[in-house]
RNA sequence: GGUCUCGUGGCCGAGUGGCUAGGCAUAGGUCUGCAAAACCUCGUACAGCGGUUCGAAUCCGCUCGAGACCUCCA
């Protein structure tokens, strides 16, 4: 490896050298979706960020176990005492089984992930599949004296926990403030403090999602599932825990407390948070009505969208910013990204057509060799610097120039030599396809047809029948294909469809 | 109100003490029947004010502006 990987740890607020607990194994847990409605583009960004992290770690030969959960119970609509479960609520509204709700949106979620070429996690556990494990965690916390039972529910005792630990250290909260500002709110008599959060909630008569427990019929608290499932599959201590920035408090703060209370250990070594996708400067969220569904984005069927954008355009757009920066959505930015993506996609297509050839009398161009090798190094450097995909893409565009000049014969294969050539190809392919997860969209299957048209094009050209030439060119153009009419050959390239 | 983050050229977006990404747009050039694609060249930007420093977009302070979290949100 060129230089060491550094990751920004939200807990310390610093970039730290990445040192897995048990190399070459890496355990990574990311908070998945609550499957009570369609995922929107903001959700996609988070999962895409961690997809790239997963991909890069694997690319670097780490043996990653990537766990991303499905939340299918326990996530309440609000924090009031009579808070409804999000999934149970939809089930009631539509008069269907909660698991139907879960199934519908889980399937939809998977389709969206596939659309954006986001790889499946290695394990995708669901909360309802781990009720027993969650009960066990609660029992451990009770045994540690850091939770209490009240009216059939179990709550985490933050004041007690804070005697030994520091609740709030991830999000910078001060417990005293939390206890003070949140006290005396109504409907919270069960809790010793409003800041206390539920580990287990008693199910009311009409609550349809319910399980037996030592404390009566009820359901698990939302924060608990992640603690139960992450430690089950990754051990009591693991390397990376990720999620959207908006989960930092209270969700991840609660997880830290639960993990420590239940195991006596710091469960997570590196906390990572991806930033929000915004629209006109404000966070994309369902309640604000400024969210797009992936389908709307592709078809352009949304009042904020001027046109549709392909999934890879969106992927490219998102990866052009750093995961920890907010990214603002706009049509202009998407349109610019579309052109950039097309340029890169043409490179993806060309690279498979390149074919190294020795050439007599061509001397090695050391300057070119050096340049190419240093750009390749830069790709690793950029990703090693807290997964800086934006910089990586910049370097890939520099490689693309080399690829284009090779293709056009402006740079001879023999000038850079076999070894450098191979490195160029492997680096470009590795980072574009494997690490960034970009791919060519469309068309390869119609390649023969395009070639036939290009043959007619060439014949018409030789006959100087320029009307025909222009006609063919226009026809292909309307299908998003640009004719490339070069000195010694004719080829095509992806172009935007207007 | 509390906590925190951010403000980069026409647009998007990296960079976080000196070597100053990249994409899009614009302009010029090579190529072309004309184009397109590709390649080459061109942009000295870093909210404002003050300070630290040999040197700051990058560190510190203040002002202005934007956003996030503090209730559910990826």
Q: What is the pLDDT of residues A342-365, one digit of tens each?
A: 999 999 999 988 999 988 888 899
Residues A266 and A326 in one domain: no
A315 touches strand B (CB under 7 A): no
A124 touches strand B (CB under 7 A): no
Task: Read off the tokens for A11.
Answer: 């807990």
Residues A347 and A414 in one domain: yes
| pLDDT of A187 | 46
Q: How far is the CA of A484 from the C1' of B25 (A)?
A: 22
> Sign (positive/negative) of CA torsion A336, A287, A111, A387?
positive
Residues A43 and A70 in one domain: yes
Task: Name the residues in A417-446 having a C-beta closer than 7 Å to nucleic acid strand B.
Answer: none
Q: How far is the CA of A230 from the C1' of B9 (A)?
A: 46
Task: Name the residues in A256-275 having a C-beta closer than 7 Å to nucleic acid strand B.
Answer: 274
A450 touches strand B (CB under 7 A): no
Task: Name the residues in A374-393 having a C-beta closer than 7 Å to nucleic acid strand B.
Answer: 385-386, 388, 390-391, 393
Domain of residue A332, residue span: 282-435
| pLDDT of A390 | 96
Residue pair A16/A270 in contact (Cβ under 8 Å)? The answer is: yes
Residue A340 lies in a domain: yes
| pLDDT of A65 | 98
Residue A134 lies in a domain: yes
Residues A327 and A475 in one domain: no
Residue A7 lies in a domain: no
| pLDDT of A313 | 96
The β-bridge partners of A16 are A7
User: Around Cβ A89, how many Cβ atoms within 10 Å?
Assistant: 17
ipTM entry: 0.95
* % of chain A surpassing 70 pLDDT: 96
- Rounded to whole angstroms, how far apart are CA atoms A141 and A195? 17
Question: At which of A246, A274, A302 does a domain end?
Answer: A274
The 10s digit of each residue's pLDDT in A27-73 is 999 999 999 999 999 999 999 999 999 999 999 999 999 999 999 99
Residues A106 and A251 in one domain: yes
For chain A, the domain total comes to 3
User: Which residues make Cβ contacts (< 8 Å) with residue A375, sequence separation at least 6?
Assistant: A395, A398, A399, A402, A427
Q: What band does A185 get if pLDDT is binned at 50, 70 and 90?
A: very low
State yes or no: cis peptide before A250, omega within 30 of 0: yes
Residues A422 and A482 in one domain: no
Chain-centroid distance of CA A442 in Å reads: 23
A425: domain CATH number is 1.10.730.10
Q: How far is the CA of A277 from the C1' of B7 (A)?
A: 17
Residue A225 lies in a domain: yes
Residue A9 lies in a domain: no
Transcribe A455-489 into DSSP letters.
HHHHHHHHTT-HHHHHHHHHHHHTTTEEEEE-SS-
Residues A141 and A253 in one domain: yes
The 10s digit of each residue's pLDDT in A371-399 is 999 999 999 999 999 999 999 999 999 99
Residue A380 lies in a domain: yes
Residue A87 lies in a domain: yes
Question: At which of A407, A435, A463 does a domain end?
Answer: A435
Q: How far is the CA of A323 from the C1' of B68 (A)?
A: 15
A340 touches strand B (CB under 7 A): yes
B35: residue with closest CA to C1': A470
Does the pLDDT of residue A119 top 60, yes or no? Answer: yes
Residues A456 and A370 in one domain: no
A354 touches strand B (CB under 7 A): no
Residues A118 and A246 in one domain: yes
A400 touches strand B (CB under 7 A): yes
Q: From the alpha carbon of A460, which nucleotide's C1' atom is closest?
A: B33
Residues A336 and A398 in one domain: yes
A226-to-A33, A235, A240 alpha-carbon distances in Å: 12, 12, 13
The 10s digit of each residue's pLDDT in A404-463 is 999 999 999 999 999 999 999 999 999 999 999 999 987 666 778 999 999 999 999 999
Q: From the alpha carbon of A330, which nucleotide's C1' atom is closest?
A: B12
Question: At which of A435, A463, A481 does a domain end?
Answer: A435
B strand bases under 7 Å from protein CB: 1-4, 11-16, 21-25, 31-40, 66-74
- Rounded to whole angstroms, how far apart are CA atoms A333 and A340? 11
What's phi and psi for A122, nearest 5 deg? -75, -30
A173: domain CATH number is 3.40.50.620
Residues A97 and A63 in one domain: yes
Nearest to A3 by CA among A385, A269, A371: A385
The 10s digit of each residue's pLDDT in A241-286 is 999 999 999 999 999 999 999 999 999 999 999 999 999 889 998 8
Residues A123 and A261 in one domain: yes
């Amino acid at each position: 490896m060129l230089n060491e990987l550094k990751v920004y740890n939200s807990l310390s607020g610093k970039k730290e050298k990445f040192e897995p607990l048990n190399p070459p194994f890496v355990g990574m847990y990311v908070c998945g979706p609550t499957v009570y409605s369609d995922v929107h583009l903001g959700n996609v960004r988070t999962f895409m960020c961690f997809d790239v992290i997963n991909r890069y770690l694997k690319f670097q030969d780490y043996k990653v176990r990537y766990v991303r959960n499905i939340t299918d119970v326990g996530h309440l609509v609000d924090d009031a005492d009579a808070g409804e479960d999000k999934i149970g609520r939809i089930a009631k509204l539509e008069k269907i089984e909660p698991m139907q709700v879960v199934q519908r949106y889980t399937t939809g979620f998977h389709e969206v992930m596939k659309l954006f070429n986001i790889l499946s996690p290695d394990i995708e556990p669901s909360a309802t599949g781990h009720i027993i494990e969650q009960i066990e965690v609660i029992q451990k916390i009770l045994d540690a004296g850091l939770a209490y039972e009240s009216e059939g529910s179990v709550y985490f005792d933050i004041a007690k926990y804070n005697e030994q630990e520091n609740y709030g250290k991830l999000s910078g909260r001060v417990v005293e403030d939390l206890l003070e500002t949140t006290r005396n709110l109504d409907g919270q008599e069960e809790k010793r403090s409003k800041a206390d959060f539920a580990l287990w909630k008693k199910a009311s008569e009409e609550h349809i999602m319910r399980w037996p427990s030592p404390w009566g019929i009820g359901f698990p608290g939302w924060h608990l599932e992640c603690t139960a499932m992450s430690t089950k599959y990754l051990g009591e201590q693991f390397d990376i825990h990720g999620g959207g920035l908006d989960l930092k408090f209270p969700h991840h703060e609660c997880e830290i407390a639960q993990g420590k209370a239940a195991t006596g250990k710091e469960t997570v070594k590196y906390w990572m948070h991806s930033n929000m996708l915004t629209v006109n400067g404000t966070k994309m969220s369902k309640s604000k009505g400024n969210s797009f569904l992936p389908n709307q984005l592709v078809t352009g069927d949304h009042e904020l969208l001027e046109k549709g954008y392909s999934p890879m355009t969106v992927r490219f757009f998102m990866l052009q910013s750093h995961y920890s920066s907010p990214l603002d959505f706009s049509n202009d930015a998407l349109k610019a990204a579309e052109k950039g993506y097309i340029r890169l996609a043409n490179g993806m297509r060309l690279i498979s057509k390149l074919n190294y050839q020795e050439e007599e009398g061509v001397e090695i161009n050391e300057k070119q060799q050096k340049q190419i090798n240093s750009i390749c190094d830069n790709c690793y450097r950029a990703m090693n610097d807290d997964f800086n995909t934006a910089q990586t893409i910049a370097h890939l565009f520099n490689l693309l120039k080399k690829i284009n000049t090779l293709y056009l014969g402006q740079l001879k294969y023999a000038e850079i030599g076999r070894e450098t050539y191979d490195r160029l190809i492997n680096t470009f392919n590795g980072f574009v396809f494997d690490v960034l997860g970009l791919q060519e969209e469309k068309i390869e299957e119609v390649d023969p047809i395009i070639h036939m048209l290009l043959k007619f094009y060439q014949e018409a050209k030789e006959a100087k029948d320029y009307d025909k030439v222009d006609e063919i060119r226009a026809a292909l153009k309307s299908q998003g294909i640009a004719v490339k009419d070069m000195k010694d050959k004719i080829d095509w390239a992806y172009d935007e469809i207007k």
